[in-house]
C-alpha cells in the first residue's frame, strides 16, 4: 500500500465519520511518480507494510485518472480534519518525513548530495560521512486564564470569528516555561505566572511538536503588539462553551483535531 503526500481519501465529506484513508496497492502510483520520488517505510499494520510515496510531480489529471471513482485527494491540513485520529497520525508521520527529505537533499556540513537510508529515517553524506536525522521544532501553545475568562488571539488569515490560543517557537537556550512567558508578553503584552503542562500534539506543517500549557494571568491588559495578530482579547466561559458546542456567537474555535481546541475543552471541563 502506498500513501501520497496529498492524501487519498475514501468516502463522502458531507456525512459525519464517513471519510477514511485510502491505500493503493504497489504498482498503481509508481508510474506517475518522478524518477527520484521519495518513498518511506511508515510501519506495519496487521503485518501489512505501509509506505509513503511522493507523487507531487504528477499532473492533476494523472492523479485523478489513477483513482477513477475510488476516492479523492485533499491537502494535508484538510485531510487531517476529516480523518479519524489513527489515520491522521499516519498522515502526519508521512508528511513530516517527506517534507524533511525534500528540504535536506544536500549536506549542511559540506554541501554534497545526501542519500536516503534506513527506510527514510536518515540521510547519509558519502563525502564527509555525516549522518542527518529528521528534526522536530518545539512550539509552546498556551491558554492564558483569569478565573472565568480566557485570552485568545486572532491571525488575519483565519476564517471569520476564529480565535485561538497564543503560540510560538521555543528559542535556543530557553526553557518551555520561559518560552510561554516570553511569547505571551510579545504577542499580548501581559505577564503570566507559572504555566502548567497539559498535553502535546505533533504538528507536521512542516515539522513541529506543539506543547500545550495553561498559564495564569498576573498583570497587564491585552493589546495588539504587531501585525502577527489582528486582535487579542478576553472571552468569557459562556462564549467558549457556545463555540465548542458550535452554537452561533462572536467566537469561532479551531477544528477538532487541533490541540488549541483540546486546551479549551480542558479548561471548560476543569
Q: What is the mean pLDDT of each run of 10 residues along the chain (270 residues)?
A: 54 66 78 81 88 80 67 78 83 89 93 94 96 94 97 94 96 97 96 97 88 97 92 95 88 91 94
Q: What local confidence, expressed as pLDDT, does residue 223 receive?
A: 94
Contacts of 89 (CB under 8 A, 6+ apart): 202
Q: Is 239 strand, coil or helix?
A: helix
Give the DSSP H or E segment for 123: strand 122-124
| Per-residue pLDDT, 15 | 55
Report the candidate in 169, 26, 33, 51 with the shortest Cα–Cα distance to residue 121: 51
Check residue 112 and give its pLDDT: 97
169 Cβ contact list (under 8 Å, min separation 6): 137, 138, 139, 179, 208
The end-to-end CA distance of the chain, in Å, is 43
Amino acid at each position: 500500500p502506498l500513501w501520497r503526500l496529498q492524501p487519498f481519501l475514501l468516502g463522502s465529506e458531507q456525512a459525519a465519520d464517513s471519510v477514511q484513508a485510502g491505500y493503493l496497492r504497489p504498482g498503481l502510483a509508481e508510474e506517475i511518480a518522478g524518477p527520484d520520488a521519495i518513498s518511506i517505510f511508515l510501519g506495519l499494520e496487521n503485518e501489512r507494510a505501509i509506505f509513503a510515496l511522493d507523487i507531487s510531480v504528477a499532473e492533476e489529471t494523472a492523479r485523478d485518472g489513477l483513482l477513477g471513482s475510488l476516492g479523492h485527494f485533499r491537502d494535508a491540513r484538510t485531510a487531517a480534519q476529516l480523518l479519524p485520529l489513527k489515520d491522521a497520525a499516519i498522515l502526519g508521520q508521512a508528511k513530516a518525513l517527506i517534507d524533511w527529505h525534500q528540504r535536506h537533499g544536500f549536506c549542511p556540513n559540506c554541501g554534497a548530495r545526501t542519500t536516503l537510508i534506513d527506510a527514510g529515517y536518515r540521510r547519509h553524506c558519502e563525502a564527509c560521512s555525516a549522518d542527518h536525522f529528521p528534526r522536530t521544532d518545539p512550539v509552546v501553545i498556551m491558554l492564558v486564564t483569569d478565573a472565568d475568562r480566557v485570552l485568545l488571539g486572532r491571525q488575519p488569515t483565519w476564517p471569520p470569528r476564529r480565535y485561538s490560543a497564543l503560540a510560538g517557537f521555543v528559542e535556543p537556550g530557553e526553557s518551555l516555561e520561559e518560552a510561554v512567558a516570553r511569547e505571551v508578553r510579545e504577542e499580548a503584552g501581559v505577564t503570566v505566572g507559572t504555566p502548567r503542562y497539559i498535553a502535546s500534539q505533533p504538528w507536521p506543517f512542516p515539522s513541529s511538536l506543539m506543547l500545550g500549557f495553561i498559564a495564569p494571568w498576573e498583570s497587564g491588559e491585552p493589546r495588539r503588539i504587531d501585525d502577527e495578530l489582528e486582535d487579542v482579547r478576553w472571552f468569557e466561559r459562556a462564549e467558549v462553551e457556545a463555540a465548542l458546542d458550535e452554537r452561533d456567537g462572536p467566537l469561532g474555535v479551531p477544528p477538532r483535531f487541533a490541540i488549541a481546541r483540546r486546551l479549551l475543552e480542558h479548561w471548560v471541563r476543569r
